[in-house]
Amino acid sequence: MRNLEEVLHDINKYINIDKDREKYAFNFVILRDTIFNKLRKREPFGSIFKGFQLGGSYGDNLKVTKPNEYDLVFHIRFPDNNLISVRKDNDLPGNVHIDLTKVMEKLRKEKQNEVIYKHLLRWVNEKNYLIINKLQSYFFSCFTKVMQELNYRITVNNEVFTLRYTRAGPAHTVEVTGDIDFKYSVDFVPGILLEEKQSILPGVGQWEAIPKPLFLAPKDYTSFRASYYREEHKLIGNKHNLKNALRMLKKFRDAHQNMLKMKSYFIKTLFLWKVKKENYTNYWRNSLSLIIIDMFKDMENSFNQRNLPFFWDSRLNLYEAYSSNVLTEMFKCVQSARETLEKANVELTIPLEPRVYRIFLTMAEVQQSPANNVTNNNLSPIPENNELQSCSIL
């Protein structure tokens, strides 16, 4: 008889994106370079653009299923960027204001920076705080013109792919569509690149201020979200079973329709808090089954408490925008999965094994898994035209 650990390692095979990685990555690199090469020709974009960094799940090697979503932070550095003063936003935890007063004073006298200075005059308020909407409107005009120049298409290996450009949150999103089975999106997210000495937190290295808009914010909104991606990347790196467990929880999320509001960054945040709690221990060397059950408990508790603190400023509740009904529904889903896993960890009976697979896999994947060979009258048939499951696992 198999045990839970063996089943979890078998399920882990469905997370592998390697078979699709090269096809998507090659196309993505062509798209990325084509867009940035055209953006660089525009001023002042070309002068303030200072490279990019692949972020999100792909950057952390936490992508599951298909590599069809990319998060790309493009770095912005103004002339004399070190003169920027970062002001803590006392009204919004985790956020900062970008004070360009000293930068503006210096640029005003410099003929070589005349173009960027004229743009900055339009992008700041009376306090010389950088205004998100003004900055993003400029980037929007740049991306729109590039898309028009490309005629909303790109050619890769003699195949034409159509492009669609939209804006949502801080991202400039480009969707790429090829044949019937090939589609992906890239979120181009601007980030003001800043040094550790400019941070309101100690010991975080280089970081970015992200122009993440607030719902119903005024047009002169100046509050940027502080992002410490590099430090997060280090915190979750080289931790043995951490990334395996994190991918498994993301796979669970992806398999259940009523879990889709649990953003990848929220799951990552649960693990960041666990890293802090288990600092200087060998916790991540434990079995995958023990860690996964623990993390389901942590997720369940966060829903029950209606609170997931932002790792870098615990005053910010990442669940703040979610209704009680949404959190209750996710709580019940996680609770059901956790109870099934705990029972299976004690004894993996024949009826329990297919239910463990159903925690992490879509109905179509369950049909192709060893669980489909197990006789279990409680395993419901695969619904037509719907890969995702509800949370009736027990």
> Residue-wise pLDDT tens for the chain (394 aa)?
789 999 999 998 888 766 778 889 999 999 999 999 999 999 999 999 999 999 988 888 888 877 889 999 999 999 999 999 999 999 999 999 999 999 999 999 999 999 999 999 999 999 999 999 999 999 999 999 999 999 999 999 999 999 999 999 999 999 999 987 899 999 999 999 999 999 999 999 999 999 998 877 788 999 999 999 999 999 999 999 999 999 999 999 999 999 999 999 999 999 999 999 998 889 999 999 999 999 999 999 999 999 999 999 999 999 999 999 999 999 999 999 999 999 999 999 999 999 999 999 988 888 888 877 764 444 444 343 345 666 655 4
Omega before residue 44 within 30° of 0, cis: yes
Is there a contact between 71 and 244 (Cβ–Cβ < 8 Å)? no
Partnered with residue 227 across adjacent β-strands are 208
Tell me what pLDDT residue 388 has: 61
pTM for the complete prediction? 0.92
Give the length of the chain.
394
User: Tokens 């839970």 map to which residue?
Assistant: 4
Partnered with residue 224 across adjacent β-strands are 96
Tell me what pLDDT residue 17 has: 64
* Structure tokens given for 189: 């997210």
**Host H or E run for residue 167:** strand 159-168
User: Whole-angstrom Cα distance, residue 69 to residue 60?
Assistant: 13
**Host H or E run for residue 19:** helix 18-40
User: Whole-angstrom Cα distance, residue 209 to residue 135?
Assistant: 13
Q: Which runs of consecutive H residues, i.e. helices, occur in 124-263?
A: 132-149, 229-236, 242-255
Tell me what pLDDT residue 371 has: 76
Is there a contact between 196 and 174 (Cβ–Cβ < 8 Å)? no
* Structure tokens given for 124: 């700041």
User: Whole-angstrom Cα distance, residue 209 to residue 212?
Assistant: 9
Tell me what pLDDT residue 389 has: 64
Tell me what pLDDT residue 312 has: 97
Tell me what pLDDT residue 376 has: 47
Domains and CATH numbers, the chain: 17-228 (3.30.460.90), 237-371 (1.10.1410.40)
**Host H or E run for residue 207:** strand 207-210
Q: What is the DSSP string of 310-366?
A: ETTEEEEETTTTS-HHHHHHHHHHHHHHHHHHHHHHH---TTHHHHHHHHHS-HHHH
Is there a contact between 361 and 339 (Cβ–Cβ < 8 Å)? no
